[in-house]
Amino acid sequence: MQIICISASNVEPAREHSASTRACELIRELAQAECDAQVDILPLIDYELTPCRMCGKCLEVGKCVRDNAFNQIYARLAEADAVFVVCPHYAPLPSKLMMLLEKLEEICYLNWCQNQQYQTIVYRKPIGLVAHGGQPMDAAPYYKTALLDPLALAFASVQMRVAGAGEQWPNGVAFGIQKLSLPPGEIFVRIEHDWDAIRGRLAPLVRNVLAQVES
């Protein structure tokens, strides 16, 4: 089983301590404990994506004619059996993740206009969504509304199957922080997480995504 876990974090100074990447690592551990899965972490910070210009040329060639970074990710999505996306709260959604979705949706829409039986490269592939931010864990319902719900609609619109984690979390899971501090002379806060609690929140989502691959 081939699984791609996309980290949508794009904060260079915090790269080595990225909560998005750590969540991806937990997803990998949980998936590999459940089955024989190869889980590759794909950090969007490594890809210089560009906004969609709606030129329509992707209809002719099946990929973006201006954005090789997108095409690399697009090829990885085509190969995957399942996808996870870990999305931090920015303003509220990270720009690179939006660029990725712009192009996925444009390719889907243009082809659908030509043929309403069109199936995307991610047709019916299960996707697990994880949202997080710099507020305490009890802010998770906000992350559900601001991040998970719109992302679920966007990925469903390109024909993916959004997996949930129970009745409370139908579109993925969210988590916040344990505490934060500002070291003297620095501009970025130091954030601590309860990773045991986060692992427990991620586990049912991972199981549901894997179950959808097998169904």
Percentages (nearest 5) of helix, strand, coil residues in the chain: 45, 20, 35
Please give the Cα distance from 6 to 25 (Å, whole number). 11
> Within 10 A of 211 (CB to CB), how many other CB atoms are there?
12
Read off the pTM: 0.94
Q: Per residue of the chain (215 residues), what is the pLDDT tens digit? A: 999 999 999 887 656 678 999 999 999 999 999 998 999 999 999 999 999 999 999 999 999 999 999 999 999 999 999 999 999 999 899 999 999 999 999 999 999 999 999 999 999 999 999 999 989 989 999 999 999 999 999 999 999 999 999 999 999 999 999 988 888 988 877 889 999 999 999 999 999 999 999 77
**pLDDT of res. 167:** 92
Q: Residue 209's closest CA among 100, 121, 124, 97?
A: 124
Q: Which amino acid is at 98?
A: M
Superfamily per CATH, domain 2-214: Flavodoxin domain (3.40.50.360)
